[in-house]
A and B are shown apart, each in its own frame.
Chain A
Amino acid sequence: MSAQSPPRGPTVPRTRAKKAAGRTATFRGARWVDERIGGAKFARTALNKVFPDHWSFMIGELALYCFVTLLLTGTYLTFFFDPSTETTTYHGSYAPLRGVEMTRAYRSALELSFDVRAGLVMRQIHHWAALLFLATIVVHLARVFFTGAFRKPRELNWIIGVTLLTLAIFNGFAGYSLLDDQLSGTGLRIAYSIALSIPLVGTWVTSLLFGGEFPGADIIERLYVIHILLIPAAITVLLAGHLYLVVRQKHTQFPGPGRREDNVVGERMWPTYAAKAVGLLFLTVSVLSMLGGLVQINPIWVFGPFDPAQVSSASQPDWYMGWLDGALRIMPGWEIRAFGFSIPNPFFPAVLLAGLTFGLLYAWPFLEARVTGDHDLHHLDDRPRQRPVRTALGVATISFYAICFLGGASDVLSTTFGLSVNAVLWTMRFALFIVPPIMAWATYRLCKELSARDGVPTASQVDWREIPHRLRHGSGPDDGDADENEDDDDPAAAPAAS
């Protein structure tokens, strides 16, 4: 795009002249756009947007970069994958499966892995990116939870975030169910049975979703549209909303000198923060490429094509479905039957527990506000130790799902440690109710201890209203009162000094 040759006098060095031409071209381009849509002011605001710096604020960013990787690699994969359940015979380059009857979906996945150059590395990067997408979302959610960043005015973004988590879980499951290998077919079979267990409408839901009784004629084709179009589009839209709200409401920050409820202290977007963000994007792709190239994931050729009459032991789902599979295993063998109708066993661990999990996640900001009576705006993050009750509940919840997750590996645990499966599952059944309260108690004590040690006021030491109040209205009329309070009782002064 060398538009016009700059004046080249004998005194102007060649490189400088080139630079000037480049600037002119850029400026001319920018001006061309500005004359039509304006936006210099908006763009400048964007350049100067302030981001508070803390390592934990980077986790959500990682999730975003995983999603970018998913879109790029996924698009490549769609050029080769054939989501059809039509049966065919394999004649490709993977010798052990030659002559085996399989669906075109499975065959195209094999060909994509063995006969398409760079196909396998793309597929494995895609799968690893999905695993890390979910992992970073969960850690990001935990960060937001434990620092209280979901409080007013950010409840809406919390709701969007939880929705993104559920969509990501569904899409991950849909993704690995497409390939129609033995493992994915088993997973679909379980998903079908879970949907079937829903009272009243279960049989209709499954028939409409699968196009009939399992395995269903249409499920792969439908999952494909869901996996590559519907859910990614929904995720993209919600992500845009998620980021818009971060810009609109500005980022939270941890308290510190000069950091108040009514300001944001941090780094400007341009150029340092933007450069670091781009660097992080490349580093994320780098880690995912390393995993995708060197660490095998989902070797479908080992599992073989799906056959509803066969199953292999140690069938484990992807990690983010592990808690659900574990809950299915830990659940004792009972169900509700009355008047000839029944609510089957899987309904309780799979539908009810999942519904409760996400229902409580959605409701948490409102539940907490109701219990604490705190309806103020909060832009300063809590440290987890400042909120012992919330932190204790969060840790207990995490331990509950961690035990469910371990339960999902009951067969692996029993073979690895030479225990009976029954002993492992009974341990899990008890642990599910014993460990979370212990974790909650230990966390609560730890928070109290830590906050007493470094003198952070906890909710019981200082009325929650005072902290944001003082900080927000530092120069306000009740400033003197706040100061006097501090002078009068300083419960943590002694331990802090020692």
Chain B
Amino acid sequence: MTDPTEPPDPTEPPEPTEPPEPPQDRPWEDEPLEQPAGPEDPASGAHGAPRSAATAEALAATCFLAAALAAIGLGVVYWQGGQTQLEGLLLAVATGGIGVGIVVWAKRFMPDEEVIEEREPLASSEEEIAEFNADFVHGEQSLVGRRILVGSLGAALAALGAALLFPIRSLGPRPGRGLKETAYAKAKGRRRGIRLVRADGGPIKPAELPVDGVLTAFPEDHTHDGDAPTLLIRTRASQKLELQHGRAAWVVDGIVAYSKLCTHVGCPVGLYQAGEGLLLCPCHQSTFNVLKGAEPIFGPATRPLPQLPLAVDDEGYLIATADFSAPVGPGFWDRDR
């Protein structure tokens, strides 16, 4: 073994057959090369640990036996009904014991000789390429020679390939109005509108919502729709609502209704800071100003939360008189069309 502290002599290459080493680059000074040693006694501490062979053998054997015990223990724990932490621990000891034992065995008792293998060129020789070309061209002629066959087979394969693309269409419906409409759309033209209900299906009276209160509502009979969650927020009387033009009548007793789906990537916008009238999306921190038509004021969202026109029906329950003011949720290519 080369002494790692001894700088190799620049004038003397390590092996006469090797090319001379450039003396200025010695990045490997801290990595001594172990000269290809002869068949030395493998138990003579090839890896430098000054441990006696008996100690190493005892250590490895102990590891294996500990692994065996842990494995038996694993069986017992499982038999007794199982316990997650113990199972993990015992499995770790069993596999770890085997692993450490094998590594000690390998490092201490297996040959640690450095050998040199020559690299053969990866690329083929020119003769091999020429021979391949000759064989290939020989076969190719009988293939390409039949132009009619090549052409018609090509047409058949292209047609088959195209035909096999059609079944992909079965995977899902055409993305039609669904992305632009919600269940509230049916309210249009209906005199009674569509009732807003709680998650349990119960209708909502405006008085049930306290000031600064927030409630997640749904169109009646559609409480499981992915695109319909609606946020009802009762603003304070002192808070001046500056909604978009023509939406003053969409408010009932200071209650405004917005789509709960963030216009960024559709997370439910859940955190309401009542004092400032701000809605915060917990996913990516888009912030919307409820008092100003839910316009985004911070974060990645670019569009306001769509607003729902609210009213009260004959029995005093909250209804929507039409669909949201815009498609709900995240943007897409033809959202504005």
> Which A residues are within 8 Å of any B CB, using their own CB?
48-50, 117-118, 120-121, 124-125, 153, 186, 189-190, 192-194, 196-204, 206-216, 218, 248-250, 254-268, 271-272, 275-276, 278-287, 289-294, 308-315, 325, 328-329, 331-335, 337, 340-346, 349, 377, 379, 383, 386, 410-411, 421-422, 425, 454-457, 467, 470-471, 473-475, 479, 482-483, 486, 490-493, 496
B110 within 8 A of A: yes
Q: Which of B81, B168, B218, B284 has the most CB of A within 10 A?
A: B284
> Which B residues are within 8 Å of any A CB, using their own CB?
8, 13-15, 18-29, 31, 33, 78, 81-82, 84-89, 91-96, 98-103, 105-107, 110-119, 122, 168-169, 171-175, 178-179, 199, 216, 218, 226-227, 229, 260, 264-268, 270-271, 280, 282-287, 296, 298-302, 329-337
- Pick from A332, A344, A379, A422: contact of B119, CB below 8 A: A379
Given the known A-B contacts A257-B33, A333-B301, are A346 and B330 also in contact in the complex, defined by CB atoms under 8 Å? yes
The B contact surface, by secondary structure, is loop
A-B contact pairs, 5 of them (CB 8 A): A118-B78, A209-B171, A293-B87, A328-B264, A344-B302
Q: Enumerate chain A residues within 8 angstroms of B110, measured Cβ to Cβ.
A: 271-272, 275
Q: Enumerate chain B residues within 8 angstroms of A342, measured Cβ to Cβ.
A: 331-333, 335-336
Beyond A208-B169, A249-B122, list 20 extra A-B contacts (CB 8 Å): A50-B117, A118-B82, A199-B333, A213-B226, A257-B28, A260-B18, A265-B33, A267-B114, A271-B106, A287-B92, A294-B89, A309-B229, A328-B265, A333-B300, A334-B302, A337-B336, A425-B285, A470-B19, A486-B24, A496-B26
Smallest CB–CB gap between A308 and chain B, Å?
4
Q: Are B299 and A425 neighbours in the complex by a CB distance under 8 Å?
A: yes
Smallest CB–CB gap between A375 and chain B, Å?
13
Given the known A-B contacts A192-B266, A260-B18, A279-B103, are A457 and B88 also in contact in the complex, defined by CB atoms under 8 Å? no
Given the known A-B contacts A292-B88, A329-B300, are A268 and B115 also in contact in the complex, defined by CB atoms under 8 Å? yes
Complex: A49 Cα to B119 Cα, angstroms:
11
Q: Which 5 A-B pairs have the closest CB atoms?
A: A293-B88, A474-B19, A344-B331, A282-B99, A286-B96
- Pick from A201, A329, A467: contact of B285, CB below 8 A: A329
Q: Which of A314, A349, A454 has the most CB of B within 10 A?
A: A454
Given the known A-B contacts A257-B8, A315-B283, A329-B284, are A341 and B87 also in contact in the complex, defined by CB atoms under 8 Å? no
Q: Are A286 and B24 neighbours in the complex by a CB distance under 8 Å?
A: no
Q: Enumerate chain B residues within 8 angstroms of A335, measured Cβ to Cβ.
A: 302, 331
Q: Are A202 and B332 neighbours in the complex by a CB distance under 8 Å?
A: yes
Complex: A193 Cα to B327 Cα, angstroms:
14
Given the known A-B contacts A121-B87, A189-B265, A410-B285, are A377 and B24 also in contact in the complex, defined by CB atoms under 8 Å? no
Given the known A-B contacts A153-B122, A204-B175, A282-B102, are A454 and B26 also in contact in the complex, defined by CB atoms under 8 Å? yes
Smallest CB–CB gap between A477 and chain B, Å?
13
Complex: A384 Cα to B264 Cα, angstroms:
41
Q: Enumerate chain A residues within 8 angstroms of B91, measured Cβ to Cβ.
A: 121, 125, 285-286, 289, 293
Q: Are A457 and B336 neighbours in the complex by a CB distance under 8 Å?
A: no
Q: Are A278 and B299 neighbours in the complex by a CB distance under 8 Å?
A: no
Complex: A118 Cα to B199 Cα, angstroms:
37
Q: Are B78 and A117 neighbours in the complex by a CB distance under 8 Å?
A: yes
Q: Which of A257, A265, A425 has the most CB of B within 10 A?
A: A257
Q: Please name the residue on chain A nearest to B21 by beta carbon.
A: A257
Q: Please name the residue on chain A nearest to B281 by beta carbon.
A: A311
Complex: A294 Cα to B332 Cα, angstroms:
44
Q: Please name the residue on chain B nearest to A457 by beta carbon.
A: B25
Q: Are B265 and A194 neighbours in the complex by a CB distance under 8 Å?
A: yes
Smallest CB–CB gap between B105 and chain A, Å?
6
Q: Are A285 and B333 neighbours in the complex by a CB distance under 8 Å?
A: no
Q: Enumerate chain A residues within 8 angstroms of B33, measured Cβ to Cβ.
A: 256-259, 265
Smallest CB–CB gap between B299 and chain A, Å?
6
Q: Please name the residue on chain B nearest to A113 by beta carbon.
A: B84
Complex: A401 Cα to B229 Cα, angstroms:
34
Q: Are B14 and A258 neighbours in the complex by a CB distance under 8 Å?
A: yes
Complex: A341 Cα to B336 Cα, angstroms:
6
Given the known A-B contacts A275-B110, A294-B85, A474-B18, are A208 and B168 also in contact in the complex, defined by CB atoms under 8 Å? yes
Complex: A209 Cα to B172 Cα, angstroms:
7
Q: Enumerate chain A residues within 8 angstroms of B99, measured Cβ to Cβ.
A: 279-286
Complex: A198 Cα to B88 Cα, angstroms:
44
Q: Enumerate chain B residues within 8 angstroms of A492, measured Cβ to Cβ.
A: 24-25
Given the known A-B contacts A207-B175, A425-B299, are A256 and B28 also in contact in the complex, defined by CB atoms under 8 Å? yes
- Pick from B14, B102, B119, B300: contact of A346, CB below 8 A: B300
Smallest CB–CB gap between A496 and chain B, Å?
7
Q: Are A482 and B22 neighbours in the complex by a CB distance under 8 Å?
A: yes
